[in-house]
Amino acid sequence: MAGDWSSSSSTAAKGVARRLARHHQAVLGFLLGFFVSVVLYTTVSGLLRFTNTLVILQPTPGERTEQSARTAPPLVFSTPNHSTEVNDAGGKLDEVLIRQELGQEGDGNNRSNVKHGAPRKPICDLSDPRYAICEISGDARAIGANSTVYHVPPADEHGPDGLEWAIRDQSRKDLGYIDKVNVKTLSAAQSRVAPECTSRHAVPAIVFAMNGLTSNPWHDFSDVLIPLFITTRAYDGEIQFLVTDLRPWFVDKYRLILTNLSRYDIVDFNKDTGVRCYPHIVVGLRSHGDLSIDPARAPHNYTMLDFRMYIRDVFSLPPEDQGIPYKEANKKNKNGGTSMEEQKPRLMLINRAGIRKFVNLPEISAAVQAAGFEVLIMEPLRDMRLEEFSRQVDSCDVLMGAHGAALTSFFFLRTNAVMLQVVPWGLEREAMSYFGVHAKDMMLQDIEYSITVEESTLYEKYGKDHLAVRDPEALRKQGWQLLRKYLWDEQDIRLNVTRFTPTLHQLL
Ligand SMILES: *[C@@H]1O[C@H](CO)[C@@H](O)[C@H](O)[C@H]1NC(C)=O
Ligand SMILES: *[C@@H]1O[C@H](CO)[C@@H](O)[C@H](O)[C@H]1NC(C)=O
Ligand SMILES: *[C@@H]1O[C@H](CO)[C@@H](O)[C@H](O)[C@H]1NC(C)=O
Ligand SMILES: *[C@@H]1O[C@H](CO)[C@@H](O)[C@H](O)[C@H]1NC(C)=O
Ligand SMILES: *[C@@H]1O[C@H](CO)[C@@H](O)[C@H](O)[C@H]1NC(C)=O
Ligand SMILES: *[C@@H]1O[C@H](CO)[C@@H](O)[C@H](O)[C@H]1NC(C)=O
């Protein structure tokens, strides 16, 4: 079974790795500023490659019909008194419901306040150190072609001046790759000439970017999918995605998650020429930190454990109290036989193709088998079909790999399954903060095997006197560029299976 997908595209993997390596050099300079936040996963980024030949998602006529059927009678935006009334009946009610969903009722959304022109909650909130977000309610109009979202306030709320913001519509407000989206609230004079709606929608919309550091699964989840979950899960699918820098591979790879979070077609916002009108538009994605959810700030107090369970649900993995399918099948076939085969725990061994690879993979695989495990070897590929892959991970008791983005597939593991992280020389801190703590948060067992310097290829490449070999903490103090060059990018792993075997026995 492992062979099916492990052998399939190693050539492709090498091509990707080469491209990524080139790209990696191009972006190095760019990343200089953000030590902790941005950088650490570099097998990344969809920046260079999309030709956009795969899918161009545009709303279908069906979507419009369905949506307008749920809409109040068409609004006439040039007569503000009418639109206010209708919004009060429809849009504001939606907004109240949404705010209740999000646990934000009472914070400035007092309808009588709004009517009497008292200060409203600001549309854009730039206060979080990590992300910026705008929420527009009432009459919100999105024009993809010029990346602008307008708020057309009701007549009695117009200020003399429009306000304007420009924010990056992903979860990292400092990530320079993300183009900014403009958010403008119109003055009375501007409202009279506001762009007219070409389509109207009854549900809210959210504008967010799919580029940035995506294509590395850690970033796919940390920068987009978890923030999208935090920001939109409470809408229960009743929200439309207006995506800037749409990445067809991303839509395809994560379509089970995306179609669960939104029932509506995804709009390729940069190519959208209409003026889309919604009762509510969110611009940007909230994030609570790297690969995390802070229950105190999340709707329904979601946790990372909830997120893992949600992912398992969305991928239709069996309930955790149900036996692992292949083991159950073995039991039935053997008809009660006590063959050891069926009892063997299964370990998925991640075979990284590029940096931080195991140079003695066959030896490691043999040692794992000798210790009593069945081994599945998996090569992470960006365009991997997650449906089948998630079932493979679900069937494993242990997910083992060198520190790196492929460990992000730990979302598919069952409660109490083990993430066995092989920690490259000098990277204990990163191993814990990027994976270890999150595994624990999700009720997985987190085991780290920290290699000795002799197990790092840095030792044979640079000799025992090189700073990276002798004192990685001192190297770290000289700045992340060096840390990255040696510990992240130049280091491969030759696992000492004699030293490693007791860790395997400990797992059993
Ligand atoms: C707007 O208000 C005026 C005056 O109250 C009224 O005559 C008019 O019919 C209203 N327009 C709409 C479209 O309701
Ligand atoms: C809403 O505002 C009005 C007038 O400012 C005030 O009397 C009322 O108590 C407020 N309601 C809530 C629920 O805050
Ligand atoms: C944005 O698009 C609208 C409609 O296509 C157009 O009228 C307007 O001039 C554009 N604004 C900018 C700043 O490009
Ligand atoms: C999304 O997934 C959840 C959990 O599996 C499910 O309850 C819900 O109905 C799904 N929503 C949509 C819109 O598919
Ligand atoms: C969510 O967490 C906050 C802060 O810890 C708490 O005040 C609130 O009651 C919680 N809400 C729910 C629904 O559990
Ligand atoms: C491998 O580990 C064992 C046990 O820790 C140790 O005795 C041996 O010297 C190591 N082998 C190498 C090549 O470092």
Q: Are strands 276-283 and 240-244 parallel, antiparallel or unpaired?
A: unpaired
List the residue whose alpha carbon is closest to atom 2 of ligand 3. 146
CA dihedral sign of residues 48, 51, 54, 57: positive
Ligand 3, CB cutoff 6 Å, lining residues:
143, 145-146, 148, 195
Distance, CA of 431 to CA of 159 (rounded, Å)? 51
Nearest atom of ligand 1 to the alpha carbon of 81? 1
Distance, CA of 290 to CA of 287 (rounded, Å)? 8
| Number of the ligand closest to the Cα of 294 | 5
Burial (CB count <10 Å: 0-12, 13-18, 19+), residue 164? exposed
Distance, CA of 140 to CA of 142 (rounded, Å)? 7
> Ligand 2 pocket, 112 CB below 6 A?
yes
- Short-list 277, 285, 254, 260, CA closest to 91: 277
For 108-149, the DSSP string reads S--HHHHHTTPPPPPSEE--SSS--EEEEEEEEEEEGGGTEE
Under DSSP, is residue 24 helix (H, G, I), strand (E, B) or coil? Answer: helix
154 CA from centroid of ligand 1 (Å): 14
146 CA from centroid of ligand 3 (Å): 6
Residue 301, phi-psi category: left (phi > 0), alpha (psi -120 to 50), beta (remainder): left
Element (H, E) at 328: helix 325-334
Distances (CA, A) of 67 to 77, 202, 204, 242, 291: 18, 6, 11, 15, 34
φ, ψ of residue 36 to 5 degrees: the values are: -80, -40
- Per-residue pLDDT tens, the chain, 508 aa: give them: 333 333 333 444 444 444 544 455 444 433 333 333 333 333 333 222 222 222 223 333 333 333 333 333 222 222 222 222 223 333 333 333 333 333 333 333 333 333 334 445 679 999 999 999 999 999 999 999 999 999 998 877 666 678 899 999 999 999 999 999 999 999 888 888 889 999 999 999 999 999 999 999 999 999 999 999 999 999 999 999 999 999 999 999 999 999 999 999 999 999 999 999 999 999 999 999 999 999 999 999 999 999 999 999 999 999 887 777 777 776 666 655 555 555 799 999 999 888 899 999 999 999 999 999 999 999 887 777 899 999 999 999 999 999 988 899 999 999 999 999 999 999 999 999 999 999 999 999 999 999 999 999 998 999 889 988 899 999 989 888 888 888 888 899 999 999 999 999 999 8
Cα 193 to chain center, whole Å?
39
320 CA from centroid of ligand 5 (Å): 27
User: CA torsion angle for 386, 390, 391, 396 (degrees, to 10)?
Assistant: 140
pTM of the model as a whole: 0.74
Element (H, E) at 311: helix 304-314
> Ligand 6 pocket, 499 CB below 6 A?
yes
List the residue whose alpha carbon is closest to atom 4 of ligand 6. 499
Element (H, E) at 330: helix 325-334
List the residue whose alpha carbon is closest to atom 3 of ligand 5. 296
Mutation probe of ligand 2 site: the residue of 113, 116, 120 with most atoms within 8 A of C-beta: 113
Q: Are strands 205-209 and 180-185 parallel, antiparallel or unpaired?
A: unpaired
- Short-list 318, 317, 353, 282, CA closest to 131: 282
Burial (CB count <10 Å: 0-12, 13-18, 19+), residue 79? exposed
Q: Are strands 398-402 and 276-283 parallel, antiparallel or unpaired?
A: unpaired
Q: Are strands 276-283 and 163-168 parallel, antiparallel or unpaired?
A: unpaired
**Contacts for 151 with CB less than 8 Å, ≥ 6 apart:** 123, 136, 138, 139, 140, 183, 184, 185, 186
List the residue whose alpha carbon is closest to atom 9 of ligand 1. 82
Q: Which CATH superfamily is domain 325-456+491-507 in?
A: Flavodoxin domain (3.40.50.360)
User: In this predicted structure, what is the pLDDT of residue 310?
Assistant: 97
Instruction: Determine how many CB atoms are found less than 10 A away from the CB of residue 335.
Output: 6
501 CA from centroid of ligand 6 (Å): 11
Distances (CA, A) of 424 to 357, 378, 450, 477: 10, 19, 6, 18
Distance, CA of 119 to CA of 113 (rounded, Å)? 8
User: CA torsion angle for 494, 499, 500, 503 (degrees, to 10)?
Assistant: -160
452 CA from centroid of ligand 6 (Å): 10
Token readout for 51 is 């030709």
CATH 3.40.50.360 occupies which residues in the chain? 325-456+491-507
Distance, CA of 228 to CA of 243 (rounded, Å)? 12
351 CA from centroid of ligand 4 (Å): 33
Distance, CA of 389 to CA of 315 (rounded, Å)? 10
Q: How many helices (H) and strands (E) would you count in the chain?
A: 22, 15
> Ligand 6 pocket, 452 CB below 6 A?
no
Q: Are strands 133-143 and 124-125 parallel, antiparallel or unpaired?
A: antiparallel
Q: What letter would DSSP give residue 155?
A: G
356 CA from centroid of ligand 2 (Å): 60
List the residue whose alpha carbon is closest to atom 11 of ligand 3. 146
96 CA from centroid of ligand 2 (Å): 15
For 358-402, the DSSP string reads BTTHHHHHHHHHHTT-EEEEE---TT--HHHHHHHHHT-SEEEEE
List the residue whose alpha carbon is closest to atom 1 of ligand 1. 81
Instruction: Determine how many CB atoms are found less than 10 A away from the CB of residue 97.
Output: 13
80 CA from centroid of ligand 1 (Å): 9
